[in-house]
Structure 1
Amino acid sequence: MYSIPIIEKLGGREAVANALIRQTDQGPRPVDKRALNMWIMRGSIPGYAIKQLVQLAKRRRVRIEDGDFERHGTSRKSKKKEVKA
């Protein structure tokens, strides 16, 4: 399973999703957990979220290290079985 260390350091996917706010046409909204899962699958966090993650880490006194914003892990998908000819 893929993960991004900064998200785990800040309490996991649900806690981080609840802490992040994105701007929409209807005003500020919390980030949906499904959106956060998509960031992890892509291995890319939007800029506005990175700023908020850094601020959240500072408030909680969580140390940010090299690689904390990089995706780690492997896919859950099983490897295809070889077909014998």
Structure 2
Amino acid sequence: MDVLYFAWLRERIDAPRERIETEAGTVADLMAELVARSDRHAAAFADPAAVRVALDQQLADFAAPIAGVAEIAFFPPMTGG
């Protein structure tokens, strides 16, 4: 699956995207795997409350299952204006 990073997450991880294979069942499980990958990933996901996620371009929560998902995007909260 493709994992996309936006804004400060991309800066902390130092990559806009990566292709991964995972056995994770949920977004939260995947985040835990990513945190264990490197210090950069750990820094990006240090405050989960400051992270939002979309599965195949649909907003989701961390409990959402990821089986069959082709693309996961992580980004900071959006604001209107």
TM-score by length of 2: 0.33
Which has more radius of gyration?
A: 1
Structure with bigger strand share is 2
The TM-score, its normalising length taken from structure 1, stands at: 0.32
